[in-house]
Structure 1
Amino acid sequence: MDARHLSDRLVRVAKFVPKNARLADIGSDHAYLPAYLAINKIISYAVAGEVAKGPYENAVTEINIERLDHMIMPRLANGLKAIKLDDNIDTITIAGMGGPLIKDIFTADLEKLTGVRRLIIQPNVGQKLIREWLMDHSYQIIDEDIVEDDHHVYEIIVAEKVNTKMSYSILDLKYGPKLRIEQSDVFKAKWHKQMEKKRKVLKNFEAANKVPIDKKMILEVDIKEIEEMLG
């Protein structure tokens, strides 16, 4: 992978970045995503933020190789602290981190989200936690995607700030308000796999001498919920 050939996961993230966006890519690593967007004339400006020195230096190298140092600013900083007021950032991407860490990044520097119109988030785990945070902070989930890349399944959540309080159901938060309606093949495969895992655990419980009743009931409820959700 390089700035001209992204992984399937990052290509899906890139498609949600608006034309002429001023982007902050947090946890940018090699800055492949902002460099790709710049090369393809999608963004007008970008900050590539990295908290670790090694990935930051990788980003600097990639930006220089592609001669994009006039458009992409690499910054060694923790989370949203990479963003400066005069960057006028309107779009933020965070891809490849866990949901709890992404939530902490947003919560630690809420003021940096002022003026940001769109969040594009690809959490490796903890998708429900991210959706809850978005709901609690008046962000509307305008789109979602799910992709299998290198034997892993990734969900992408796209949200925009609104003036009204958002309300999502438990099913929306767990499975995604867009994903559970659209039910792509990747989505169905993911949740069929999860359901089978739960059934195996339940079967092991039933074969055990001492059955943990509370855990057994939770599994039964979860399995039924997934079955009904998949229709």
Structure 2
Amino acid sequence: MNPLSLSHRLERVAAQVPVGAHLADIGSDHAYLPVALVLRGVIPQAVAGEVARTPFLAARRSVHDNGLEHCISVRQADGLAAIEVGDRITAVSLCGMGGETIRDILQAGRAQLSGCERLILQPNGGERPLRQWLMDNSYGIRHEEVLRENRFDYEIIVADTGEPVAYSPQELFFGPLQLRHRTPAFLAKWQRLLHLKRRTLERLAHARQSELDAKRLELAQHIQWIESLNPL
């Protein structure tokens, strides 16, 4: 892979990393994101964190092959434990994991966050519980987008600390900025999901277990919300 090239998904993530940031890319895999950003001159240094041995070695190899050991530290660590005080991190990226997993990593590593970092998050599903954590911890969502790659829909969520925020249930479900702007990619994603949710509700309608009543009501509510979406 050309070290300066990234997938469409990672390009959109890269676009949200501030110029001059000290980046911690957690779950860095091959360290493609920090390597590309350093080679492009966007950031001066980075940390690439990986908990599993195989991707850790892959990241270390990418950094070595591009001669970037002096400015990218590759560390095998669990989540935000890869961050050290001397790194002076100003941006944290977590990409390609479930939203609940990203939430749990942020919560477990809360002590490693100074509160001044920009969070650049690309969850594979589970966006609502992730947005709930951001709200509960006074991270305001500054940017959101939906993109489609290889027949999958992905979301990017960028958040900064600041004044406490309060999102409605619909804003937590769709994303406050997504709901405001309603881009074609956003509307197309939810139209695809609408068919899946309708089929799921039909299957649950024939189930007799009373414990599924709450699930049926929740699905019906989500379907109603999606059906009410219209382009602005």
User: How many corresponding residue pairs?
Assistant: 229
1:67-123 Cα offsets, whole Å, 9 max, x none, are 111111100111011011000001000000111211111111212111532000011
Aligned to 2:138: 138
SS of the residue corresponding to residue 160 of structure 1 reads strand
* Aligned-residue offset at 1:230: 3.2
Aligned to 2:66: 66
Aligned to 2:177: 178
Is 1:166 matched up with 2:165?
yes
Aligned to 2:82: 82
Asked whether the 8 Å contact 1:138–1:165 carries over to 2, the reply is yes
* Aligned-residue offset at 1:166: 1.1
1:163-204 Cα offsets, whole Å, 9 max, x none, are x22111111110011112222222111111111122233445
Aligned to 2:94: 94
Aligned to 1:126: 126
- TM superposition score normalised by structure 2: 0.92
Change (3 A) 1:172 1:218: closer
Structure 1 unaligned runs (5+)? none
SS of the residue corresponding to residue 73 of structure 1 reads strand
Change (3 A) 1:65 1:220: same
For residues 157 and 10 of structure 2, what CA distance do their matches in structure 1 show?
13
- TM superposition score normalised by structure 1: 0.92
* Aligned-residue offset at 1:229: 2.9
For residues 85 and 211 of structure 1, what CA distance do their matches in structure 2 show?
52
SS of the residue corresponding to residue 166 of structure 1 reads coil
Change (3 A) 1:205 1:103: closer
Is 1:221 matched up with 2:207?
no
Aligned to 1:196: 195
Change (3 A) 1:216 1:137: closer
Identity %: 41
Structure 2 unaligned runs (5+)? none
Aligned residue type for 1:225: W
Asked whether the 8 Å contact 2:187–2:229 carries over to 1, the reply is no
Between 194-203 and 5-14, report the one with greater CA deviation: 194-203
* Aligned-residue offset at 1:145: 1.2
Asked whether the 8 Å contact 1:9–1:147 carries over to 2, the reply is yes
Is 1:47 matched up with 2:38?
no
